[in-house]
Amino acid sequence: SHRQSNFVLGCKMSAMNIDIRSFLLAGMLVLVAACSSSAWSQGEVQRAADLGRAGKWTEAKQLLEPVLISSNYQSSGRAWFVMGFIHKELHKSQGEFGVDAPERLAAVACFQRAQQLGLSVSDQQMASEALDFLSRSYFREAIGMVEGFTWGSTNDIIALFSRYEALELSLNPNKDLAPQRSDLNRYLGQAHAMLLDSESPRTSAESQAIFEAAIGHYRSALESDPGEYATQYNLAITLYNEGVRKLKSIGHETSMFELMEIQDGCVALFEQSLAPMQAAHAQQPGRLETLKGLMTLHYALSQKEESDRYRARIE
Find the DSSP H helices in the chain: 2-53, 57-69, 77-94, 102-117, 121-147, 154-171, 178-197, 204-224, 229-248, 256-283, 288-300, 304-314
Question: Mind listing the pLDDT tens digit for each residue in 174-217?
Answer: 999 999 999 999 999 999 999 988 877 788 899 999 999 999 99
Per-residue pLDDT, 42: 58
Residue 122 has pLDDT above 60, yes or no: yes
Task: Compute how many other C-beta atoms are within 10 angstroms of the C-beta atom of residue 61.
Answer: 19
Question: Mind listing the pLDDT tens digit for each residue in 296-312?
Answer: 999 999 999 999 999 99
Angle between helices 204-224 and 178-197 (to 10 degrees): 160
Phi/psi of residue 208, each to 5°? -65, -40
